[in-house]
Amino acid sequence: MPRVDRPYVGIASFLRSRIVEDLTKIDADIAVLGVPFDEGSPFLPGSRMAPRALREHSLRFGKRGYYDPETKREYLVDEMTNGRIVDCGDVDIHPANAPRTFQNITAAVKAILASGAMPVVLGGDHSITYPIFRALEEPVHVLHFDAHTDYSPFENDLELTNGHAFRHVAGMKTALSLTQIGIRSLRHTPEMVRGVEEDGNRVIPMGEFRALGAAGIAALLPENSKVYVSIDVDALDMSLVPGCVSAEPNGMSYNELRDSLKAIAERHEVVAFDFVEVNPPLDVGTGVTAYIGALTVIEFIAHICDQPRWAARRRTRAA
């Protein structure tokens, strides 16, 4: 008799996918990795609990993909029924030793990439994008959805916080460009934004984001670019994300973020992405921030897998 498997039953792997603990034995197209780290947050801790919460809310989706009433289509059916998504568990965290934890993050992502799978990384705070990105060996463009630039100068012996990640990333040879989308916090100084642009990067505030629209955001890069996407939950408006310590007003609606990610998946080759800054201890009882986070990740994976280039990639891997 088949199992019912209600969302509150069973081990909480992402989308109830099989768990792979040995990263040298990944046989899948997508590998989900948790990074329960929040020592880069200078305000309130708690995002270390997000990978677990995102996994728990992912169990609310079906075991054979999901159906979108808007498009009248099913997504991720092949990937979920044929085990093409795996959960690689969590990176080991060394408390109060961020450099050592960051080494573990980079090593885990390198192992996933070596297997040929696409890494999908669940944070944690935004400092983790730096050790994730340095695992990439091929040059890519970086698309960063956030209310904040996370481009603080290295001063006062601080360089591994969630405010420094993209200064690290932009300085790497593997970063062909950095485009920061949804920047709007009034806590920026003029120098903070100017510094990003003076280094040759692009900042897209909310007014420009809405003027461009989803297709315009995707068209900021040459078609078929290889891209790394980093998504901070505070790209969304603060009314949608009570479980986020850094939420800001005048943010994106869910459909604005979803449609932008969909347009990126249609126009470009996504090599990896991360989703960060959900803070479950701050969330409301129903866990709406973790839920909207899981939904964002699932829909982005689905739109990546829905592209002809993804099918061609799978054929090449299978040959």
Q: What architecture does CATH give domain 19-37+44-64+73-313?
A: 3-Layer(aba) Sandwich (3.40)
What single-letter DSSP state applies at residue 17? P
Q: Compute the mean pLDDT over every residue in the chain, rounded to the nearest whole number.
A: 95
Cβ neighbourhood burial of 315 (10 Å; 0-12, 13-18, 19+) = exposed
What single-letter DSSP state applies at residue 148? S
Residue 255 CB contacts under 8 Å (≥ 6 apart), including other chains:
none
Supply φ then ψ for residue 52, to 5 degrees.
-65, -45
Max avg pLDDT among 41-45, 64-68, 184-188, 229-233: 229-233
pLDDT at position 10 is 87
Whether the predicted pLDDT of 153 surpasses 90 = no
For the chain, give every domain's residue range. Answer: 19-37+44-64+73-313
Among 59-63, 215-219, 230-234, 310-314, the range scoring the smallest mean pLDDT is 310-314
Query: Could you tell me the two tokens for 102?
Result: 């960051």
Are 146 and 206 in contact by the 8 Å Cβ rule? The answer is no
pLDDT at position 319 is 62
3-class DSSP state of 252? strand
Per-residue pLDDT, averaged over 294-312, amounts to 95
* Percentage with pLDDT > 70 across the chain: 99
pLDDT at position 313 is 80
Among 54-68, 95-109, 221-235, 304-318, the range scoring the smallest mean pLDDT is 304-318
Query: Could you tell me the two tokens for 139?
Result: 């040059």
